Amino acid sequence: MTSRRDACHDAYDDAQMILGTALGGERAAVVGGVDAVVDRSGPAGAFNVALCLAATLVGDEGYLGGAALDFPGIDDASYDARWVARFVSAYVNGDRPTAEALMRAADADGELASCMATLAGSTVETLRRRDR
Instruction: List, for residues 33-86, the tens digit of each pLDDT value.
Output: 999 999 999 989 999 999 999 999 998 776 666 776 667 788 899 999 999 999
pLDDT, position 64:
61
Torsion of CA 69, 71, 75, 77, to 10 degrees: -90
* Arithmetic mean of pLDDT, 126-132: 84
Higher pLDDT, 1 or 30: 30
Contact between residue 25 and residue 59 where contact means Cβ atoms under 8 Å apart: no
pLDDT, position 65:
61
Instruction: List, for residues 86-128, the tens digit of each pLDDT value.
Output: 999 999 989 999 999 999 999 999 999 999 999 999 999 998 8
Give pTM, 2 decimals.
Answer: 0.86
